[in-house]
């Protein structure tokens, strides 16, 4: 099973086991780009998905879903070794 969410450091005692992931503002810039990337990924529009996930990561460098989807795209392109080493 591949998880698109990962563990994060907790910023307060109210945070979940994934840090502040579930407590985020869904309207943030990172969330908007993440949604665009997911939509493009579902349509297999790899260039558009890559650009959206890069923008999500520029807004939040520790965004776990954007990192995971970038890895999925690299695997689709036959670059599984890059997906493990980093984007």
Top-confidence residue, 29 or 32: 32
What is the domain partition of the chain in residue ranges?
30-85
Confidence of residue 21 (pLDDT cuts 50, 70, 90): very low
Could you please state the CATH topology (level 3) that the domain comprising 30-85 is classified under: 1.25.40
pLDDT for the residue 49: 96
Segment 27-31 long-range contacts (CB within 8 Å, at least 24 positions apart): 28/59, 28/60, 29/59, 30/56, 30/59, 30/60, 30/63, 30/66, 31/56
Q: Each residue of 30-54: pLDDT tens digit?
A: 889 999 999 999 999 999 999 999 9
């Amino acid at each position: 099973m591949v998880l698109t969410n990962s563990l994060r450091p907790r910023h307060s005692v109210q945070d979940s086991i994934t840090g502040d992931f579930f407590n985020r503002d869904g309207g943030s810039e990172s969330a908007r780009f993440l949604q665009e990337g997911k939509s493009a990924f579902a349509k297999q529009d790899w260039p558009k998905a890559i650009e959206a996930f890069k923008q999500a990561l520029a807004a939040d460098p520790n965004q776990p879903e954007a990192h995971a989807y970038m890895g999925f795209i690299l695997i689709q392109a036959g670059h599984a070794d890059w997906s493990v080493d980093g984007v």
